[in-house]
Homo-oligomer: A and B are copies of this chain.
Amino acid sequence: MHISAKVDYAVRTLVEIAAAETSPVKAEHLAGAQGIPHKFLEAVLGDLRRAGLVHSRRGPDGGYWLAKPADEIAVADVIRAVEGPLASVRGERPEEVEYDGAAAPLRDVWIAVRVNLRAVLESVTIAAIASAELPGFVAELTADPQAWHRR
């Protein structure tokens, strides 16, 4: 239940690329704009490239650009690109774990957790973040003051 620096950096980087008026965008510029160590960012951009989310070119006037429209890249895609599956239980996928005896229904709980995770992460796109127009139901979720309270 932890969002790593890599995921955080990756999403912010894609938003920055989407919001940039010039193209391609250099890693150095992205690192500066979002306060990310630039060599570390290069590794993240490598993951994004291998996952097919960005393209790149070397040399002067080189840099990175989105491989598809920003409204077709969900936050869930970014997480899968740099970290793997959205949710896992002891290293396995939720639907693969098996429980004996009284704990059997626990698998359904993990499945439900993943469903609710996906509901947010699959629906929020890079374009939505860049334009500050999150989907309606996400805005509703954050509207409740309880959402900001630290139980």
Q: Give the interface of A toward B (CB within 8 A).
A: 1-5, 8, 11-12, 15-16, 18-19, 33-35, 75-76, 79, 83, 85-90, 93, 95, 97, 99-106, 108-122, 124, 128-130, 132, 134, 138-139, 141-142, 144, 147-148, 150-151
Contact = CB atoms under 8 A, between A and B. Distances in A.
Nearest to A108: B142
Given A1-B88, A112-B142, 7 more contacts: A3-B113, A8-B97, A16-B102, A34-B100, A95-B148, A113-B117, A116-B141
Contacts of A110: 3
A2 B1 CA distance: 5
A147 B111 contact: yes
